[in-house]
Structure 1
Amino acid sequence: MTKKGQHVVPNGNGWSVKKAGGVKASSNHPTQAGAVQAATQIAKNQKTELYVHGKDGRIREHNSYSGGLRTKK
């Protein structure tokens, strides 16, 4: 994970929210939807990016909250 912001990644038992470059998860969730919800709040508060990874680890969704307006890529 090299892109700045929050990343939702699979963790074996569910899904984790991790800060870019971080080793320890900010939070763990049984579902991806729960992790995305938590990561979205952090990204909005920090005005940063949100990256949602698939089970294969590849980024499948990217949302930006850096400009106050949400943009989805």
Structure 2
Amino acid sequence: MAKGDVHTVPHGDGWANKVEGNERVSNTAETKAEAQTKGRDMAQKNGTEHLIHKKDGTIGERNTYPRGRDPRQSKG
């Protein structure tokens, strides 16, 4: 995992997004869905990976957003 990757993680009674390498969370949300949306937007903007954790803390999903290239436009 590279510095700057965005992790959507359980946080207290809700969820938060934490950028790898930062000490503090970037933002919080009441629901996982809301936190995922914020985290995805952050990762897309920064061209990094978005790792979505499960309630138990394990990684459930990961998505990569390369800088300057829209993966939906690639063939395959």
TM-score after normalising by structure 2: 0.82
Distance apart, 1:20 and its partner CA: 1.0
Supply the AA of the counterpart residue of 1:68: D
Structure 1 residues without counterparts, runs of 5 or longer: none
Once the two structures are aligned, what percentage of the paired residues are identical?
Answer: 35
What RMSD over aligned residues (CA atoms) do the two structures have, in Å? Answer: 1.3
Q: Which runs of 4+ in 1 moved over 3 A?
A: none
Aligned residues: 68
Question: Could you tell me how far apart the structure 1 residues matched to 2:61 and 2:21 are?
Answer: 18
Gaps of 5+ in 2: none
Q: Which has the larger radius of gyration?
A: 2
TM-score with structure 1 length normalisation? 0.85
